[in-house]
Structure 1
Amino acid sequence: MEKMVLEEEIVIVGAGIAGLATAIALKRVGIRALVLERSDGLRVSGAALTLAPNAWLALDALGVAHKLTPLYAVREKMCITNVATGAVQEVSLIRNNRGGPITVHRKTLLESLAEELPRHSIRFSSKPISIEAQAQEGPYTIHLEDGTVITTKVLIGCDGVNSFVARKLGLTEPVNSGRSAVVALAVFPEGHGVREHVLQFLDVGKRAGIVPLNDKEIYWFLTFNTPKGETMTKDPQEIQKQVIENYAKDLPPIYAEVVRHCDLSTLNLAPLRLRLPWDLIFGNVSKGNMTVVGDAMHPMTPDLGQGGCAALEDAVVLGRHIGKSFIDNGRLVPGAVAEAIEGYVKERRWRAAWLIAGSYFSGWAQTMTVEAPTIG
């Protein structure tokens, strides 16, 4: 059986938020990209995510914001409970008249992004197993697990924390933060009756929260210091049980009640990892016409709520730089595209590094541990 050989201008690896947004940003300047996704459909692990005003500016630039804003409410206030003292602090989430954050279903966001792309822009069940550069500035040859071979002038990795493209660039592997997170949706068929405010509960070594998505669904999360030497279970029912019995026992009763209503199909438990800021500052974020976007570039802990937001920013910035090169030259010229990618890296590298550091130390401060968890 002969191998299928495809030739593309730009290939994006990963059809998550970063990959789809990058493809849209390129499409808006007249460039078609092929998006490769290893799964057989859009991946929706994570249930929901909160998007800050900077993310909505990016979504507006991508022409997608208007599809989502009518579906979800802006969160104007957050009530933070100190579990040890019982003190409750009310915090405004509105900053400088820019509006507040909005929490959305991850699936809805991904589908809204995917709808903006031409048919056949996403190739599912396409897992890269090797990448070869024919020269410093490409072209690149991608071998897929199914035997397909794809050559491309530009390669963009949007393939998450365990990025295959980041490894090809030589970026160091993300490290464990010493913490883990559980996220899921809770469903109340008759309505939950919870106010629209965000509720957070802070205790030594853990942070929990609930965010109403609509009248019948609540997004809930828990971050905690990972017990040393313990293996994480993958059984959703067992995870739910452990959260209720071990982590929620000292929290206000409303939290355990929300967890009891968990839709187990949405539950996800994972260690929190990050790329060390200095590895991002001094590492190879690009080589020739190859680079990375989103978690493939800057995995971070969720404590500032900026992982997905920064990925959307990345997409807009990279699209702008490559788009300008494309318009100036009338086509994708390898050397000019490499310069455009260098401009993108220069613009994003330091911001991403600060977000990684800020997220990590914010998580440490919020959970009031005596010392920060060891990174490594």
Structure 2
Amino acid sequence: MAHAIVIGGGIGGLTAAAALHAHGWTVTLHERAASLEPVGSGLAIGPNALRALDTIGAGDPVRALNAFQGEGGVRRADGRWLSRTSIQTAADRYGDPLVVTLRAALVDLLAARLPDGALHLNSTATLASPGDATAPATVTTSTDTGTGTVTGEETADLVVAADGIHSPTRAALFPGRSPIRYTGLTAWRAVTRAPAGSFTPAEAWGRGTVFGINPLTGDRAYLYATAPAPEGARAPGGDERAELLRLFGDWYDPVPALLKTVDPDAVLRNDVYHMPRPLPAFHRGRAALLGDAAHPMTPNLGQGACQAVEDAVVLAHHATRAATGGMPAALAAYTAARRRRTTEVMRRSHRICRMTALTGAVPVAARDAAVRLAGLLGPTALVRQADMIFQWRPPADPA
């Protein structure tokens, strides 16, 4: 039986492990943290990712988490609409809704699809050799047992690196200067209590700033924001909620009121990076990159996790079709299937990022006018822009 080692227990790594297990692989997943997703945040799951999750039986459970109903769209900081559409319009066009849920809820669903003993927490795995057509891949491991550290070495038919935007595996496979760049923006995420009907889902654009509100089940709201900041900067005294109130406290209702309900200790802040040039490949030997390790993208299309989920099921599909000695060729097919698509999604997301980062009065006015004009073209005009992303379907597996 073929064996895979997965590095990283985020959405992409968990999906890859679950998909490979569903295809009959034995799987070991190493996650360096002590738990999966210890702090809550929201996550948008598009129709494309739902179809990918269907291949491992997780699509319908995720659809059941949906609380995104009614209308949504893009607003100005003062609340005036630039463009709006019905959520049902999108669902009718693509056959599935846009689901916004707690990231931890999806993590739990994916982790439940792993076999007993597959998940290793407090465990760091480092690629030592990617292997080749005749030799397996090798990783070194370091596991904190609570009473000491145990080190070791493991071999596998396939190593899946889902180790994030600052991926050590990417650096090992493609040595040299890091291909990621700071966008000049930082992002905040938070979840708070908000009664159903107390707000309309929307993303509002200011001068270089963005604030979004999406509903979650259980009368909760997922809040997110971006603003210019020096790389690595943090709020004075570490109070990120106070920083959000400083930046967005005079925006349209209910933005200030929602921010005041947020637990100051539950605000996540991360700088936003992008990859100006795509990697030459997503694999080398028997090692494959996926998600942010392969194609880090800005959050503007809500596709970071969705593309990682797509990667995972496509990788499992191609890897399973390979004979043991043919794994490098199978991973070349994975690169061919994923590189062009993810590069386009990555570039589209960055273009929107640049639009939201505009600060000059004239450029902002021109941007807002363009978005407003698109909205005037009809209720499906905004939705149609997502056809390339949302109409994707996973590959058909062999009988």
Tell me which interval the TM-score lies in, with the shorter structure as reference length: 0.7 to 0.9
Instruction: Indicate the percent of aligned positions where both proteins have the same amino acid.
Output: 23
User: Which of structure 1's runs of 4+ aligned residues deviate more than 6 A?
Assistant: none
TM superposition shift of 1:324: 1.7
1:304 CA drift (Å): 0.8
The alpha-carbon distance between structure 1 residues 254 and 9, as it changes in their structure 2 partners (threshold 3 A), is same
CA offset at residue 178 of structure 1?
Answer: 1.2
Please give the secondary structure, in 2, of the residue aligned with 1:147: strand
Q: Provide the aligned length of Structure 1 versus Structure 2.
A: 350
The TM-score, its normalising length taken from structure 2, stands at 0.81
Task: Extract unaligned runs of 5+ from structure 1.
Answer: 1-6
Indicate the residue corresponding to 1:60 in structure 2: 54
1:225 CA drift (Å):
1.8
Cα offsets for 1:260-304 (capped at 9, x unmatched): 11134532101001222x332xx2421111110111111100101
What pairs up with 1:202-281 in 2 under 5 angstroms? Answer: 202-226=205-229, 228=230, 231-233=233-235, 238-245=239-246, 247-276=247-276, 278-280=277-279
CA distance in 1, matches of 2:113, 2:237: 36
Q: Which moved more, 1:68-77 or 1:32-41?
A: 68-77
Partner of 1:290: 287
- Structure-2 separation of matches of 1:111 and 1:265: 23
Query: Which residue identity lines up with residue 59 of structure 1 in the other structure?
Result: L
Structure 2: state its 5+ residue gaps.
143-149, 365-399
Task: Please give the secondary structure, in 1, of the residue aligned with 2:34.
Answer: coil
Aligned to 1:4: none
In structure 1, the partner of 2:377 is: none
Task: Label 1:173 to 1:321 Cα distance change in 2 as closer, same or farther (>3 A).
Answer: same
The farther-off stretch of 302-311 and 63-72 is: 63-72
Matched, 1:345 2:339: no
Cα distance in 2 for partners of 1:129, 1:360 equals 30
Q: Which residue of 1 aligns with 2:352?
A: 362
Query: Which residue of structure 2 aligns with residue 51 of structure 1?
Result: 45
* Contact 1:137 1:287 (C-alpha < 8 Å) held by counterparts: no
Instruction: Say which is worse superposed, 247-256 or 54-63, in terms of deviation.
Output: 247-256
Q: Give the aligned partner of residue 199 of structure 1.
A: 202
Tell me whether 130-139 or 91-100 shows the greater mean CA deviation. Answer: 130-139
Q: CA RMSD in A?
A: 2.5
Cα contact 1:26–1:33 (8 A) shared by 2:
yes
Is 1:152 the counterpart of 2:156? The answer is yes
8 Å CA contact 1:17–1:308 kept in 2: the answer is yes
SS in 1 for 2:278: helix
Moved more, 123-132 or 105-114: 123-132
Is the contact made by 1:74 and 1:99 (CA closer than 8 Å) also made in structure 2?
Answer: no
CA contact (8 A) 1:76 1:100 kept: no
In 2, Cα distance between equivalents of 1:296 and 1:305: 17
SS in 2 for 1:148: strand
Counterpart Cα distance in 2 of 1:155 and 1:23: 11
Question: Offset at 1:110?
Answer: 0.3
1:3 is aligned to none
Alpha-carbon offset, residue 138 of structure 1: 3.8
Residue 39 of structure 1: aligned partner = 33
Provide the C-alpha distance between the structure 1 equivalents of 2:295 and 2:232, rounded to a whole number of angstroms: 27
